[in-house]
């Protein structure tokens, strides 16, 4: 498996573009994205479990019910959520894609991101669709920029891998730095691949993957109304179509996880106001479920996140988060260390503190990527969760997000 360029356009048969159409006031910000395939694709999606769902999710569910899609359209700046005419607007966006590309509206995945509860007009989208469609090409970067809200960097990645003796490619773009505590899905993630795989197996691969990737990310503990992960598979790589479990399906899942894990790290590191990526690695749990529960609990702790912002080795907050996580843990067996490029610092052994240098701790925790290593010493279960520190800027960003 090799990292390659191209993002969401790396796989055979895919083109993309992103433009500013006028939804966002800042004319330098792209706010409309389109991804299309030359052929109809196997499609798989997962969605937020929030009971309040954006209208685009309801429309997308209908459009991919048969397991196929050929295009993705997404706007930023307005979530199209809690609007009386939301579904009509989402369907209108798909109709505009059909008008300008010839792809059936019923084969279009639609998504929106931005402010909740504000009416979304179809007018700017209609005025920008001609330019958007005409400019379709190898523009993964434009597409990634078109779905950003408070993101500070665009997020894209691609890998090549082999199936059945054929080179396959898989790439993605993603957005999301706030309202991140996904349940079954996350943020907005659009994945494309030229691997040949049935819709059923594609859905299985995605549903299995999000449990260990996107569901293990938390920025602020809030679950968005518009979270969606969508994968389109064109099949143009020419491998024998994956119809069931086996070595090819395992290889595909491994490639998918490479992409999703990379995006997990990018999203957590770019969390609203964040200065540090936190990666919590739990081992020695009684079960994988217990390990995941502990890892997520530590990553979500506001007190711990604040300590990491201040480079304060307040390991008691880690033990505290483990204690209320709800997992079956023997606290007297717990070991904790912090690790970064500046070194590794043991802070707790057998549930009790160990002496350490505050100067060394400051150096280790002042790096922009920090690992929290937790050994429960009670089994073979392990898990990884991703998060970020909690800073003054998080409050500043969300104090006037709407206005």
Q: Which residues are catalytic?
A: 186
Q: CA-to-CA distance for 154 and 365, rounded, in angstroms?
A: 26
181 close to 229: Cβ distance less than 8 angstroms = no
Q: Give the length of the chain.
A: 403
Q: CA-to-CA distance for 376 and 283, rounded, in angstroms?
A: 6
Q: CA-to-CA distance for 342 and 4, rounded, in angstroms?
A: 29
Q: Which two tokens stand for residue 89?
A: 């607007």
- φ/ψ (deg, to 5) at 61: -55, -40
Torsion of CA 73, 78, 84, 87, to 10 degrees: 10
Question: Which among 346, 372, 364, 401 has a CA at the least distance from the CA of 281?
Answer: 372
Q: CA-to-CA distance for 182 and 222, rounded, in angstroms?
A: 8
């Amino acid at each position: 498996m090799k990292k390659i360029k191209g993002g969401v356009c790396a796989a055979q048969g895919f083109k993309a573009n992103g433009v500013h159409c006028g939804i966002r006031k800042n004319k330098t910000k792209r706010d409309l994205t389109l991804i299309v395939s030359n052929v109809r694709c196997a499609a798989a999606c997962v969605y937020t479990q929030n009971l309040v769902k954006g209208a685009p999710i309801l429309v997308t569910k209908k459009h991919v019910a048969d397991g196929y899609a050929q295009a993705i359209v997404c706007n930023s700046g307005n979530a199209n959520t809690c609007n009386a005419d939301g579904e009509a607007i989402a369907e209108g966006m798909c109709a505009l894609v059909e008008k300008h590309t010839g792809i059936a509206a019923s084969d279009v995945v639609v998504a929106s991101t931005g402010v909740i509860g504000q009416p979304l007009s179809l007018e700017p989208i209609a005025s920008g669709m001609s330019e958007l469609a005409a400019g379709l090409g190898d523009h993964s970067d434009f597409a990634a920029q078109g779905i950003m809200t408070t993101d500070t960097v665009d997020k894209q990645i691609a890998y090549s891998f082999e199936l059945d003796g054929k080179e396959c490619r898989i790439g993605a773009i993603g957005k999301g730095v706030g309202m991140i505590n996904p349940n079954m899905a996350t943020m907005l993630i659009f994945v494309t691949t030229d691997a040949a795989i049935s819709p059923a197996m594609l859905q299985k691969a995605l549903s299995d993957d999000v449990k260990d990737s996107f569901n293990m990310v938390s920025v602020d503990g809030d679950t968005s109304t518009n979270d969606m992960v969508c994968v389109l598979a064109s099949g143009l790589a020419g491998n024998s179509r994956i119809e069931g479990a086996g070595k090819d399906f395992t290889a595909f899942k491994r490639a998918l996880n490479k992409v999703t894990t990379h995006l997990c790290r990018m999203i957590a590191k770019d969390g609203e106001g964040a200065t540090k990526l936190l990666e919590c690695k739990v081992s020695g749990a009684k079960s994988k479920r217990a390990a995941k529960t502990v890892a997520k609990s530590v990553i979500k702790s506001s007190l711990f996140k604040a300590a990491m912002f201040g480079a304060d080795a307040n390991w008691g907050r880690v033990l505290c988060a483990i204690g209320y996580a709800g997992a079956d843990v023997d606290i007297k067996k717990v070991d904790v260390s912090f690790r970064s490029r500046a070194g590794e610092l043991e802070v707790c052994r057998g549930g009790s503190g160990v002496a350490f240098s505050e100067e060394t701790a400051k150096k280790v925790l002042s790096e922009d990527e920090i690992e929290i290593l937790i050994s429960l010493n009670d089994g073979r279960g392990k898990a990884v969760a991703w998060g970020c520190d909690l800073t003054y800027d998080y409050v500043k960003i969300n104090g006037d997000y709407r206005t």
